[in-house]
Chain A
Amino acid sequence: MPGAPVDALRTVPLFANLDDEELAQVALLFKTRRFPAGETIVKEGTDAAAFFLIESGEAAVSVRGSERRSLGPGDHFGEIALIDEGVRSATITATTDLACYGLTLWEFRPLVVENGEVGWKLLQSVALKLRNAELS
């Protein structure tokens, strides 16, 4: 089945305001990617190319060499990279064999550029994230 499961995408804050049809469009853009245990998935400080949603397996998050937390099925990372093409803020390493759904900024951007409604909803999500950050 091509793409990522829509239900899993509902849990991603960036996509929280999208309706079912919009989520289905985004879901179709995902491709599966597998990492063997021990492989570095993303490295702190490198340019970010994709957002990942974990389907199965476990991964460890570390910042400046210090382990912070672990990730498992349903967890995700890198959604802001889809918009700003910025650098990774953490290193994430597969601690078991890992299956992910991945979405690159190259594929995400045309959908947003061509669909102003989706763009506006993403903007709202980012604004909410910013507001929460100011309050915390």
Chain B
Amino acid sequence: MRVLLPLTEVSDTSVFGSKAVGLGQAVRDGLPVPPGVALSGALVEAVASDDGDALALVAAAVGPLGGPLAVRSSAVDEDGAEASFAGQHLTLLNVPSAAELGTALREIWWSANSDSAITYRKRVGLFTRPSVAVVVQALLDPECAGVMFTRNPVTGADERMIEASWGLGEAVVAGLVIPDSYRVRRDGQVLERRAGLKRVAIRSLAAGGTVEEDVAAELVEKLCLDDARLVELSGLARRCEEVYGLDRDVEWAFADSTLYLLQCRGVTRVGGS
């Protein structure tokens, strides 16, 4: 089905994949998700095949988001398979505008149809044809970003565990920095804060794509988050647990002093439990 919808209306995982549906649910529940649209796997495939009508449909829907854009894959497969595709299917940050979307969608389609993706699929027992839906969102230009576990994944303690670094959160996710780390009680009280070593930050380039930038010397070991922001993050953790259930793995960002939720996944195994 060649279809696209605003995130607010996305609810069918068999068409849009679990990441898109998760973000759609978050928007409907009032969580601070950047605006976006979801494209079905069939529509992504049509664009990858240079279908002009499909590309025009996407460009018209994405236009109001402006630019730059974050283009994230959302695997359409067996329930629960999405998490296992981490690192296999591509996410492209900072696609300058709707005009460059055709190339971005083609790259994402091929990431799900590459040799390494097929090898991986066979290893985990998936022999069905790959299908990859996509979420297109306005790209944030964060002051800082990172990940948060709503319960400590190492000890199982009932506390938020937060990692943060300057710029886009991919620096944390990709392990390019030693991020700041924080432990925060449910009521927002900070139990521990430890400055990391954040020598690089990933930033958007004006012409598209991202770049690793050196962080100013005075910021390398400076904490990214003050107590007020930690309280905000703890509040976001509470809202995510109310909406999705306990034990969540959250990607977040502060941009223009506003906290955004980028992704919220279940944690399959928590230490101590």
Residues of A near any B CB (own CB < 8 A)? 1-3, 31-34, 42-43, 46-50, 88, 102, 104, 106
Chain B residues near A102: list those with CB within 8 A. 110
Question: Is there contact, CB below 8 Å, between A31 and B115?
Answer: no
Cα distance A2–B129 when bound, in Å? 21
Q: Are B118 and A31 in contact (CB under 8 A)?
A: no
Q: Which of A1, A32, A46, A106 contacts B130 (CB 8 A)?
A: A106
Q: Would you list the 3 A-B pairs with minimal beta carbon distance, nearest first?
A: A49-B118, A47-B119, A2-B50
Query: B106 and A48: CB pair below 8 A?
Result: no
- Between A and B, how many residue pairs show CB distances below 8 Å? 43
B48 interface hit (Cβ, 8 Å): yes
A34 → B minimal CB distance (Å): 8
Q: How far is the CB of B100 from chain A (nearest CB, A)?
A: 13
Q: Which residue of chain B lies nearest to A81 when distances are taken between CB atoms in the complex? A: B115
* Interface contact B119-A46, CB-CB below 8 Å: yes
A31 touches B48 (CB 8 A): yes
B129 surroundings in chain A (CB, below 8 A): 106
The CA of A34 and the CA of B110, in the complex, are separated in Å by 10
Q: Using CB atoms and an 8 Å cutoff, list the residues of chain B in contact with chain A.
A: 48-51, 103, 106, 109-110, 113-119, 122, 129-130
Q: A47-B122, A50-B114, A88-B115 are in contact. List 7 more A-B contacts (CB 8 A).
A: A2-B49, A33-B110, A43-B115, A46-B119, A48-B118, A49-B117, A106-B129
Judge whether A106 and B50 touch: CB under 8 Å.
no
Cβ-closest chain A residue relative to B113: A104
Contacts of B50 in A (CB 8 A): 1-3, 31-32
> Which residue of chain A is the closest to B102 with respect to CB atoms?
A32
**Are A50 and B113 also in contact (CB < 8 A) when A31-B48, A32-B106 are?**
yes
18 contacts between A and B (CB under 8 A): A1-B50, A2-B50, A31-B49, A31-B109, A32-B106, A43-B115, A43-B116, A46-B119, A47-B118, A48-B115, A49-B113, A49-B114, A49-B115, A49-B118, A50-B114, A50-B115, A106-B129, A106-B130
Contact among B110, B117, B122, B130 for A31, CB-based, below 8 A: B110
Q: Does B115 contact A46, Cβ atoms closer than 8 Å?
A: yes
Shortest A36–chain B CB gap in Å is 11
Q: Which residues of B contact A104 (CB under 8 A)?
A: 113
**A104 CB to nearest chain B CB (Å):** 5
Question: In the complex, what residues of B have CB within 8 A of residue A31's CB?
Answer: 48-50, 106, 109-110
